[in-house]
Structure 1
Amino acid sequence: MLKKNFFKKLKDRNLIFQTTNEKKINNLLKKKIFVYCGFDPTSDSLHIGHILPLLCLRRFQLQGHTPIVLIGGATSLIGDPSFKLKERKLFSQDSILKWMYKIKNQISLFLDFSNISNKAIILNNYDWFKNMNVLDFLRNVGKNFTINNMINKESVKNRFIKKKKGISFTEFSYSLLQAYDFSVLYKKFNVLLQIGGSDQWGNITSGIHLTYILHKSKVFGLTLPLLIKSDGKKFGKSESKTIWLDPKKTTPYEFYQFWINVKDTEVYDYLKYFTFLSIKDINNMKKKDFVNKTFFKSKEKLAKKITCLVHGKSNFFSSKINSKIFFSSKIKYLSENDFIQLKKNKAPFIFLKNKKYSLYKILVSSFLASSNRNAKDLINSNAISINYKKQIDIHYILKDSDKLFNKYTLLSKGKKNFLLLIWK
């Protein structure tokens, strides 16, 4: 039996950014439906920007609805221009096929594909585009859209008015491909709702328009808030400082640290977005935190829930131990076993040969600094520590006395970025 207040629960969690018709979607969700969200495999891993829509699909599934994950085997060959400052790099079909396999495994962390009545479904839009020729596409899809309307969509407007960069016809046509996806899924599965990030609003409304033109039926759209970085940009594959779900690209420790270090003002929204804790429990946590003037326990709860989901309990506990060791701040409390544990738990580390190294060059080679100039600026600004002691000499050469137990050195940038140097 479906709960009648599911739409309200989504609103209470601030998960609804836009809807095409709030009242009708509210009524629609009182019966079992098919709902879909698309993901383009333009990398070999999903990132944290994908967690929110996947968890939202999970909420729909737990409610009794059937989630469809549409992998963009065709659309990823084109590239979505939505709110991008420049054209995406085009990838080969072979690369996309390899990436699809890895991404499907990651999606299985969030949705139930077992033999239940509303088991999740994964589809590939290449299946219906591969045999469509350009004349059929232009006649059956393209004729239903005006250039005027497409130009005025916010997702491409900013690119269109920039004469130097502009937008290619390839990217410009992306919205039509995604629109056709919605019409196909309506016809095949009676999909009535598409969800996506707020940057997908233009693509979603195009699909609603085309489905009505082709099938004379009304379908609906719902967008979620975007996860925004500290610099105001959304998390994405082509952006810097991406937090990946693949442990080879972002270690479980780095993943855990991202959630531990969210802003105090964001942690309660994130608990609503990314966990299944009740609103009542989250509000109670917030009240206690403001009374006690500490937010760490709530951040740790958030980090635990998501790290366990993506990387498992063992990697969560390892990341927690690493964090405790890194942030102990007093070197005398650390044993040789602590350093062995750091490496074993996949904390950030690099191997160095037993020879002389300048500090600023190690910062660059370990990616704690972006360049020699940046490394020297960091040292000058008192941001670099060796074994918890500040080092302000830009020409400093690491010494044998910096090697704890003749093998380990703790290097840190600021209060949150640590690196273990292992000498051999």
Structure 2
Amino acid sequence: MNMPIVDTTRSFKPKSEALSILIERGFLHQCTNLEALDEKLAAGSITAYAGFDATQDSLHVGHLLPLMAMRWLQKAGHKPILLVGGGTTRIGDPSFRSESRPMLDEAQIATNLAGIRATVERLFDISEGEGSIVDNAEWLDEFRFLEFLRDFGTHFTVNRMLTFDSVRARLDSQQPLSVLEFCYMMLQAVDFVELAKRFDCQLQIGGSDQWGNIVNGVDLGRRAGLELHGLTLPLLTTAAGSKMGKTSDGSVWLNSDRLSAFNFWQFWRNTADNDVIRYLKLFTELPMGEINRLAKLQGEELNEAKRTLATSVTIIVHGAQAAAAAVEQADALFSQTVSSDTKPTHYLSLASLAKRMGLLELLVKTGFASSNSEARRLVLSGAVRLNNRLVMEEARLISEGDIGAGNQITLSVGKRRKALVAFV
């Protein structure tokens, strides 16, 4: 079954509100049948899903693109299903990975599922009739091996599966691809069909790396007499060519226990000039008229757009109160008007001072470095300031003499990353 790749530069004028929004804001990369999907979206409410495996206890910025697309669908009157992979997490998606994922035990998967649910519940209305969170273990756990092969194995050919880019990339690099991982695309296809049968789900949304898996689901649905649709989103890279959402300190997490709302706000505030308008379209719900106004700003004025981006995304992910606190903290830190009333961005134990905490350890604990060696490079390069004073001694210890009003110290790396640490 050949699926057309959509060229969104052509003069396609959607009838549906949902597709109009997704195309205008830059969400559409590929679609299995654009015209047919548009007709369905225009005819009435449909159910769509996006899936997330529970490999970590928090989603990250890389997941925010499909989440935002699903939010727009819900705002346009459609019903979202957020599928969590309690079943598929046990295998791991090989798509464009150079090696197998580590196997997780049931306890870790359960912990991760709880963290993902916490994010999803903040971002969507999942009340009855509006949206839902579904775990694919609900049906995958029911399958017996021979029954699964009998019912679904004949619909997949190894010849075709070997043509998918995600599989070819692994094989071309001469890295092993286990039978376990090879079966993942079958399970994702089955997920789509099961959701169609149980919830009348007609659309799957995913990243561009999921195209082969999504096409498999659409094809399997066709064999079962179901008309299903797939839509993929663009792979986001920064203007500098790096993967969006990855920093030197690791992933930009959506849960505040993995990354504070303040550090999350700072990530977006530090967006490159050439990326800010595109990110405003994709990651905020600002009207296009306001985004077009911000697009006209140049030079230092573009900082208004960056602050708007940072605050708008933080409101969506962490809530208005957390976003307001992040703005207040940033204003105090960057204007050097920190007082005892300024809310800290990080809290550490006073006992850590008694244990002679070093500057390198402090940089790691505040998330400015992922390791002592990285922290050492930052210090020796002259990027680190303690209480607004340059520090270049890698063996520097943090003492009570460094602590100011409210048991606080300020820490900065470069001009753009700052923290207010309170010892309690």
Same fold judged by TM-score > 0.5? yes
Residue 3 of structure 2: aligned partner = none
Relative to 1, partners in 2 of residues 1:275 and 1:399: Cα closer, same or farther, differing over 3 Å?
Answer: closer
Q: 1:179 aligns with which of 189, 196, 203?
A: 189
Relative to 1, partners in 2 of residues 1:17 and 1:381: Cα closer, same or farther, differing over 3 Å?
Answer: same
Task: Name which of structure 1's ranges 404-413 and 259-268 shifts more when overlaid on structure 2.
Answer: 404-413
After the TM superposition, which residues 89-128 of structure 1 pair with which residues of structure 2 at under 5 Å, given as runs?
89-115=102-128, 118-128=129-139
CA shift at 1:235, angstroms? 4.5
Residue 381 of structure 1: aligned partner = 381
Say if 2:144 is the partner of 1:133: yes
CA shift at 1:282, angstroms? 0.8
CA contact (8 A) 1:74 1:129 kept: yes
CA shift at 1:203, angstroms? 0.7
Q: Which whole-Å deviations, capped at 9, do the CAs of 1:220-277 have from their partners, x for residues lacking one?
A: 11011234466723658xx962122221111111111111111111111111112222
Residue 62 of structure 2: aligned partner = 49
Query: TM-score scaled by structure 1?
Result: 0.86
Residue 74 of structure 2: aligned partner = 61
CA contact (8 A) 1:253 1:322 kept: yes
Query: TM-score scaled by structure 2?
Result: 0.86
Q: Which whole-Å deviations, capped at 9, do the CAs of 1:296-338 have from their partners, x for residues lacking one?
A: 2112222222212222222112111111122124xxx443x14
Relative to 1, partners in 2 of residues 1:347 and 1:191: Cα closer, same or farther, differing over 3 Å?
Answer: same
Structure 1 letter corresponding to 2:78: H
Structure 2 letter corresponding to 1:9: I
Relative to 1, partners in 2 of residues 1:373 and 1:5: Cα closer, same or farther, differing over 3 Å?
Answer: closer
Relative to 1, partners in 2 of residues 1:157 and 1:234: Cα closer, same or farther, differing over 3 Å?
Answer: farther
CA contact (8 A) 1:350 1:420 kept: no
Residue 21 of structure 2: aligned partner = 9
In 1, Cα distance between the equivalents of 2:314 and 2:115?
Answer: 19
Residue 11 of structure 2: aligned partner = none
CA contact (8 A) 2:384 2:411 kept: yes
Say if 2:307 is the partner of 1:295: no
Structure 2 letter corresponding to 1:131: E
In 2, Cα distance between the equivalents of 1:243 and 1:266?
Answer: 17
Structure 1 letter corresponding to 2:134: L
In 1, Cα distance between the equivalents of 2:324 and 2:124?
Answer: 24
In 2, Cα distance between the equivalents of 1:25 and 1:49?
Answer: 25
CA contact (8 A) 1:354 1:423 kept: no
The residue matched to 1:205 in structure 2 has which SS?
Answer: helix
CA contact (8 A) 1:49 1:226 kept: no
In 2, Cα distance between the equivalents of 1:46 and 1:369?
Answer: 21
Relative to 1, partners in 2 of residues 1:209 and 1:402: Cα closer, same or farther, differing over 3 Å?
Answer: same
Say if 2:351 is the partner of 1:342: no
Residue 232 of structure 1: aligned partner = 242
Relative to 1, partners in 2 of residues 1:356 and 1:17: Cα closer, same or farther, differing over 3 Å?
Answer: same
Residue 163 of structure 2: aligned partner = 152
In 1, Cα distance between the equivalents of 2:108 and 2:355?
Answer: 40
In 2, Cα distance between the equivalents of 1:240 and 1:153?
Answer: 32
Say if 2:88 is the partner of 1:75: yes
Structure 2 letter corresponding to 1:300: R
CA shift at 1:42, angstroms? 2.1
After the TM superposition, which residues 223-262 of structure 1 pair with which residues of structure 2 at under 5 Å, given as runs?
223-228=232-237, 232-233=242-243, 235=245, 241-262=250-271
CA shift at 1:62, angstroms? 2.1
The residue matched to 1:29 in structure 2 has which SS?
Answer: helix
CA shift at 1:127, angstroms? 1.6
Structure 1 letter corresponding to 2:269: I
Residue 172 of structure 2: aligned partner = 161
Structure 2 letter corresponding to 1:56: A
CA shift at 1:372, angstroms? 4.8
After the TM superposition, which residues 203-242 of structure 1 pair with which residues of structure 2 at under 5 Å, given as runs?
203-213=213-223, 215-228=224-237, 232-233=242-243, 235=245, 241-242=250-251
Residue 323 of structure 1: aligned partner = 330
CA shift at 1:389, angstroms? 2.0
Residue 280 of structure 1: aligned partner = 289
In 2, Cα distance between the equivalents of 1:361 and 1:9?
Answer: 46
The residue matched to 1:30 in structure 2 has which SS?
Answer: helix
Task: Name which of structure 1's ranges 303-312 and 386-395 shifts more when overlaid on structure 2.
Answer: 386-395
**Gap regions ≥5 residues in structure 1:** none
Task: Name which of structure 1's ranges 313-322 and 391-400 shifts more when overlaid on structure 2.
Answer: 391-400
CA shift at 1:80, angstroms? 1.0
CA contact (8 A) 1:36 1:193 kept: yes
Say if 2:37 is the partner of 1:25: yes
Structure 1 letter corresponding to 2:378: L
**Gap regions ≥5 residues in structure 2:** 1-13
Q: Percent identity?
A: 34
CA contact (8 A) 1:349 1:420 kept: no
Q: 1:170 aligns with which of 162, 168, 180?
A: 180
CA shift at 1:407, angstroms? 4.1
Residue 311 of structure 2: aligned partner = 304
